[in-house]
Amino acid sequence: MLAVDELHTIYWEEVGNPDGIPVIFLHGGPGAGLSPAHRRFFDPEQYRVILFDQRGAGKSTPVGECRNNTTQLLIEDIERLRVMAGIEQWLVFGGSWGSTLALAYGEAHPERCLGFVLRGIFLCTQQEIDWFLDGAQWFHPEIHAEFIAPIPEAERGNLLQAYVQRIMSDDPAVHWPAVRAWSRFEGRRVFLLPQPDDAPSDALDLGIGRLESHYMANLGFFSDDQLVRNVSRIAHLPVAIVQGRYDVICPPVSAWRLHQAWPGSVLHMIPDAGHAAMEKGIAQALVTATEQFKRKRAFA
């Protein structure tokens, strides 16, 4: 546990070879937190892997806390971990919101990056946020109908604002149903094929509901299309982009835009996958990317 300010303490862990290739793992959400499975993308004999729960997520405390929680502060936390670990440069690995944060970190500190492995690209633009909330009805009308049902018709013109008001309420009778509805709305669309519902998790629902709505309401604390406009700062570095063809959370157009803006980038479009990192084709492509990076470093 690492106290990063007077409010937030973040959980972090290190696995693998202390003398291996350094890599930072950035989870999605925001608010989703780590899973032991996230360690499995890396060869433990060749990689030194740093993983952490971002502010308000997972084992970090307080869970779901939106105060002192911005992209810029998360970047500072990553740098704090790097300095604490004595790492000069590292590979940056992130999926979904983790890809957003990876790009933001890289563009802020390109000299600290060896390269990138990115999955399910999210650039945090208004169009992507609108798709996440309203575009769902085009492919999952029954899930979208369930999501908007608790919201009065007069408020459905701005679902994000309606949910933020409820999710941020101090009244548990108001915010708990809202964060659970938000988390379920996303979770049921992550895989290409329906999956059994996970066991309920208050920490996950609170982290996902509060932090996702907080960051979306603030457009990720970015200026307009910032991540694409500033890609030149990291365009000299290698990147593997892994994208599910049928990702309805983060549609492929964002991965394509990033690929077009980044000369030399390699885009792997997985033909039979949705959004989840653990879909078979996506997981295989991510492991292949870390294996290829490992081999290139061996001959560097």
**DSSP string of 41-91, one letter each residue:** GS-TTTEEEEEEPPTTSTTSBSTT--TT--HHHHHHHHHHHHHHHT-S-EE
Residues 189 and 247 in one domain: no
Sequence-separated (6 or more) residues with CB below 8 Å from residue 173: none
Residues 257 and 190 in one domain: no
With cut-offs at 50, 70 and 90, classify the pLDDT of residue 299.
low
With cut-offs at 50, 70 and 90, classify the pLDDT of residue 127.
very high
Residues 235 and 118 in one domain: yes
Looking at residue 214, its pLDDT comes to 98
Residues 25 and 112 in one domain: yes
Sequence-separated (6 or more) residues with CB below 8 Å from residue 16: 39, 42, 43, 44, 45, 46, 47, 48, 49
Residues 245 and 180 in one domain: no
Strand spans (E) along the chain:
2-3, 9-10, 12-16, 21-26, 47-52, 90-95, 113-119, 239-244, 266-270
Q: What is the pLDDT of residues 206-240, one digit of tens each?
A: 999 999 999 999 999 999 999 999 999 999 999 99
Instruction: Tell whether omega for the bond before 30 is within 30 degrees of 0, i.e. cis.
Output: yes
| Of 149, 158, 94, 143, residue with least CA distance to 121 | 94
The first and second tokens of residue 31, run together, are 């608010």
With cut-offs at 50, 70 and 90, classify the pLDDT of residue 274.
very high
Domain end point (choices 155, 188, 220)? 220
Q: What is the pLDDT of residues 241-271, one digit of tens each?
A: 999 999 999 999 999 999 999 999 999 999 9
| Of 41, 99, 105, 127, residue with least CA distance to 275 | 99
The whole-number average pLDDT for the span 276-289 is 98
Question: What's the rounded Cα separation, in Å, for the pair 125 and 107?
Answer: 17
Residues 111 and 7 in one domain: yes
Sequence-separated (6 or more) residues with CB below 8 Å from residue 268: 240, 241, 242, 243, 285, 289
Catalytic residues: 96, 247, 275
Residues 46 and 185 in one domain: no
Domain end point (choices 189, 220, 251)? 220
Find the radius of gyration of the CA atoms of the chain: 18
Residues 216 and 239 in one domain: no
Residues 49 and 160 in one domain: no
Question: What's the rounded Cα separation, in Å, for the pair 268 and 243?
Answer: 6
Contact 3, 77 (CB under 8 A): no
| Of 81, 64, 109, 97, residue with least CA distance to 23 | 81
Looking at residue 105, its pLDDT comes to 98
Looking at residue 200, its pLDDT comes to 75
Domain end point (choices 220, 241, 262)? 220
Supply the range of the domain harboring residue 31.
Answer: 2-123+221-298
Q: What is the pLDDT of residues 107-123, one digit of tens each?
A: 999 999 999 999 999 99
Position 298 pLDDT exceeds 80: no
Give how far Cα 259 sits from Cα of 142, 255, 262, 291, Å: 33, 6, 5, 21
Residues 284 and 136 in one domain: no
Q: How many domains does the chain have?
A: 2
Task: Write b or e for each residue in 125-134: b if 16 or more Cβ atoms lie within 10 A of its Cβ, otherwise e.
Answer: beebbebbbe
Contact 48, 19 (CB under 8 A): yes
Residue 173 has a CB neighbour count (10 Å cut-off) of: 7
The first and second tokens of residue 269, run together, are 């479009």
Q: What is the pLDDT of residues 49-62, one digit of tens each?
A: 999 999 999 999 99
Helix/strand number for the chain, H first, E second: 11, 9
What CATH number is attached to the domain comprising 238? 3.40.50.1820
Residues 291 and 231 in one domain: yes
Residues 7 and 101 in one domain: yes
